Amino acid sequence: MINYTNTAIVELKSQIFEQFDVRVLLKREDQNHPFISGNKWWKLKYNLERALKDGHSTLVTFGGAYSNHLYATAAAARELGLNSIAVIRGEETLPLNPTLSFVKAAGTQLYYISREAYRNKAAPSFIQQLHDRFGNFYLIPEGGTNALAVKGCAEWAKLVKEEVDFDYLCLPVGTGGTMAGVIEGLNESSRVMGFPVLKGAIFLEEEIKKYTFKNNWELVYDYHFGGYGKITDELIEFIIQFEKQFNVPLDPIYTAKMMFGLIDLIKKQYFHQRSTILIMHTGGLQGRAGFNF
């Protein structure tokens, strides 16, 4: 299987954190693998194990043009000697952006479908069309979210809890699979806070509830900056200043929005005094390509 490097938990020191009497820790999971970084390693772990065990030689998965999941899956397939096909939402745009350039260079076949067709990507009839076109394959859903991904992320959360004690765990949320797994992996003494990067993401509550019956979690919807892949000058300036202060790079799609929201909530005295807050850096730093950070 793919190698994993255990990552550090570092404390972030700031006058703001001191002023509001909270301790802020950061799990540097962006450093667990050069290409399959952050939560993607954990979401793919058991899916890749199952694909190999069942004798599959081809992976098929889905994503948009800037998908961290497509990037990680392409890297994993290359490392394991598997064929891979990326079903991409929307029309081809040339030149390819840095994410899709990497995916293609890794040997993954790019297969574009219309946004209308993409909405039906989980329909059995569409999956059958993919089999008719590409033959036998192991299917990984959009964002990698399924029961095996949740299993991997639950394992991750259990390991982190063994390393350090905390009151809150914060992470960015795309499809909800990582958060569901983290909730499952922790006991209910720790509260999990997810920061959706999509606009109008109320539906994520039901997605998460598919995988967990626990109630120690909440979603914070106010920090999407206009929606998935939307970036403002304010967010870019925040990323620049955060890296200067803490020497930690953030990606503009996921972790920067979460960190902005977390610091804003600290200023609003959302957290109890003397709380310990653990932040999960979920990687995805290839999303910085093309920006002048």
Find the helix or strand (DSSP H, E) in which 218 lies: strand 217-219
In a domain, 71, yes or no: yes
In a domain, 182, yes or no: yes
Residue 267: exposed, middle, or buried by beta-carbon count in 10 A (0-12, 13-18, 19+)? exposed
Find the helix or strand (DSSP H, E) in which 130 lies: helix 124-134
Is it true that the peptide bond before 124 is cis, omega within 30 degrees of 0?
no
Digit-coded pLDDT (tens) for 232-251: 999 999 999 999 999 999 99
Q: How far is 13 from 15, CA to CA, in rounded Å? A: 7
Instruction: Using DSSP bridges, classify how beta strands 168-173 and 217-219 pair: parallel, antiparallel or unpaired.
Output: unpaired
74 and 15 co-located in one domain: no
182 and 255 co-located in one domain: yes
24 and 157 co-located in one domain: yes
Find the helix or strand (DSSP H, E) in which 61 lies: strand 58-63
Quick one: CA dihedral 10, 12, 13, 17, positive or negative?
Answer: negative
157 and 194 co-located in one domain: yes
In a domain, 293, yes or no: no
132 and 261 co-located in one domain: no
Six-digit token string for 216: 């120690």
238 and 174 co-located in one domain: yes
Q: How far is 270 from 281, CA to CA, in rounded Å? A: 21
Range of the domain at 100: 39-144
63 and 191 co-located in one domain: no
Six-digit token string for 155: 């394992």
In a domain, 2, yes or no: no
In a domain, 170, yes or no: yes
Q: How far is 75 from 230, CA to CA, in rounded Å? A: 25
Return the number of other C-beta atoms located less than 10 Å from residue 43's C-beta.
Answer: 32
In a domain, 1, yes or no: no
What pLDDT score was predicted for residue 292? 67
DSSP character at residue 83: E
Q: What is the pTM of this model?
A: 0.95
85 and 102 co-located in one domain: yes
Helix, strand or coil for residue 215? coil
Instruction: Using DSSP bridges, classify how beta strands 22-27 and 275-280 pair: parallel, antiparallel or unpaired.
Output: parallel
What pLDDT score was predicted for residue 263? 98
Six-digit token string for 288: 């910085």
107 and 52 co-located in one domain: yes
Alpha-carbon 77 to chain mean position: 18
Residue 243: exposed, middle, or buried by beta-carbon count in 10 A (0-12, 13-18, 19+)? middle
What pLDDT score was predicted for residue 101? 97
Q: Per the structure, how many domains does the chain have?
A: 2
Whether 204 contacts 178, CB under 8 Å: no
Whether 263 contacts 16, CB under 8 Å: yes
201 and 178 co-located in one domain: yes
In a domain, 89, yes or no: yes
109, 144, 179 - which closes a domain: 144
Residue partners of 102: CB distance under 8 A and separation at least 6: 71, 74, 75, 286
In a domain, 52, yes or no: yes
119, 144, 169 - which closes a domain: 144
89, 111, 144 - which closes a domain: 144
205 and 261 co-located in one domain: yes
Question: Which residue stretches of the chain have pLDDT < 70?
Answer: 292-293
Digit-coded pLDDT (tens) for 69-126: 999 999 999 999 999 999 999 999 999 999 999 999 999 999 999 999 999 999 999 9
**75-91 as b/e: b if 16+ CB within 10 A:** bbbbbeebbbbbbbbee
114 and 210 co-located in one domain: no
Q: In sequence order, what are the beta bridge partners of 169?
A: 192, 278
CATH number, residue 121: 3.40.50.1100
